[in-house]
């Protein structure tokens, strides 16, 4: 069994998978590389998955997943006993945490879509944890009242149940798409020839490798919990995902 090679990453293909079988490719730097994995590697503002990797005779807790040498590295706690390269394994993510992250991530798309549609303001930054997130906008000003208005508009949109579609398109096509230009598709490294686009039809469309829920209905309700100025043309909103789905 080869000790290196690519990893078949299942999360971008099917966000709703919580478990998958594979083999150990390599054991290195406090973690494992697999030939096939359900774990999402931290990136694009989305945190890496946690969970367990089990094999015949043992299992190990995965405390984070990051991208290293272009592949997901499943990080383990120091002192963990690890399987040998070639060992068949089954990976299982903490699904509750991932699903909450998917709802949070989809909420950020809806937020950026509403703010651009109604105020023409672009996103300048953002980050998320499972259930909470922040996003920065090129707005001249921000206030608690503005936050409340956004919260109302956002929840009005989410409940309409916009479907989330994943489209893979050639780089040269993506570079001509106005929505993708606005969200800086040109910053994706040139060796990436196929661009994965997340299209929440009518609300938001951008190049993105993360995991999302199938419909904005699954997001639930969003609360805008804080608004603050982070400098000229850089206004921050913090949101929290609330309620069922």
Nearer residue to Zn ion within complex by CB, 71 or 109: 109
What is d(CA 3, CA 5) in angstroms, rounded to the nearest whole number? 7
- φ, ψ (nearest 5 deg) of residue 173: -75, -45
Give the 3-state DSSP-derived string for 12-26, with helices as H, strands as E and coil as C.
CCCCCCCEEEEEEEE
Nearer residue to Zn ion within complex by CB, 205 or 236: 205
Binders of Zn ion among residues 109 to 148 (CB under 5 A) are none
Residue 210 binding Zn ion, by CB under 5 A: yes
What is the chain's percent helix, strand, coil content, to nearest 5? 25, 40, 35
Contact mark string toward Zn ion, 52..81, x via CB under 5 A: ------------------------------
- Number of residues this chain uses to bind Zn ion (CB under 5 A): 4
Residue 208 binding Zn ion, by CB under 5 A: yes
Q: Which is nearest to 65 in space by CA: 53, 55, 56? A: 53
Residue 83 binding Zn ion, by CB under 5 A: no
- Listed ranges 7-15, 100-108, 124-132, 152-160: which one lies at the site for Zn ion (CB under 5 A): 100-108
Shortest Å, Cβ 39 to Zn ion = 17
Residue 204 binding Zn ion, by CB under 5 A: no
Residue 199 binding Zn ion, by CB under 5 A: no
Shortest Å, Cβ 108 to Zn ion = 7
Shortest Å, Cβ 212 to Zn ion = 6
Asked whether 35 and 8 are in contact (CB, 8 A), the reply is yes
Question: What one-character-per-residue DSSP string does 148-210 give?
Answer: HHHHHHHHHHHTT-PBEEEEEEEHHHHTT-HHHHHTTGGGS-TT--EEEEEEETTTEEEE--S
Shortest Å, Cβ 64 to Zn ion = 19
Nearer residue to Zn ion within complex by CB, 3 or 129: 129
Q: Which long-range contacts (CB under 8 A, 24 or more apart) does 183-188 make?
A: 183/122, 183/123, 183/207
- Listed ranges 25-33, 98-106, 134-142, 160-168: which one lies at the site for Zn ion (CB under 5 A): 98-106
What is d(CA 149, CA 34) in angstroms, rounded to the nearest whole number? 46
**By the criterion CB under 5 A, which residues form the site for Zn ion?**
105, 198, 208, 210
């Amino acid at each position: 069994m080869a000790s290196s090679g690519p990893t078949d990453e299942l999360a971008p293909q099917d966000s709703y998978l919580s478990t998958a079988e594979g083999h150990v490719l390599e054991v290195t730097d406090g973690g494992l590389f697999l030939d096939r994995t359900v774990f999402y590697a931290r990136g694009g503002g989305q945190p890496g998955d946690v969970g367990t990797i089990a094999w015949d005779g043992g299992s190990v807790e995965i405390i984070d997943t990051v991208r290293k040498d272009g592949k997901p590295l499943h990080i383990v706690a120091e002192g963990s006993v690890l399987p040998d390269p070639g060992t068949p394994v089954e990976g299982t993510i903490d699904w509750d945490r991932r699903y909450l992250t998917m709802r949070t991530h989809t909420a950020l798309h809806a937020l950026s879509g509403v703010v651009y549609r109604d105020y023409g303001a672009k996103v300048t930054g953002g980050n998320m944890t499972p259930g909470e997130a922040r996003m920065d906008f090129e707005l001249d000003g921000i206030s608690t009242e503005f936050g409340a208005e956004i919260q109302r508009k956002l929840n009005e949109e989410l409940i309409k149940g916009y479907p989330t579609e994943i489209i893979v398109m050639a780089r040269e096509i993506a570079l001509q798409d106005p929505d993708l230009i606005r969200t800086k598709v040109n910053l994706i490294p040139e060796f990436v020839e196929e661009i994965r686009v997340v299209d929440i039809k009518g609300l938001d469309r951008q190049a993105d490798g993360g995991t999302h829920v199938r419909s904005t209905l699954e997001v639930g309700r969003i609360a805008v919990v804080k608004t603050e100025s982070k400098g000229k043309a850089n206004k921050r909103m913090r949101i929290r995902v609330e309620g069922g789905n």
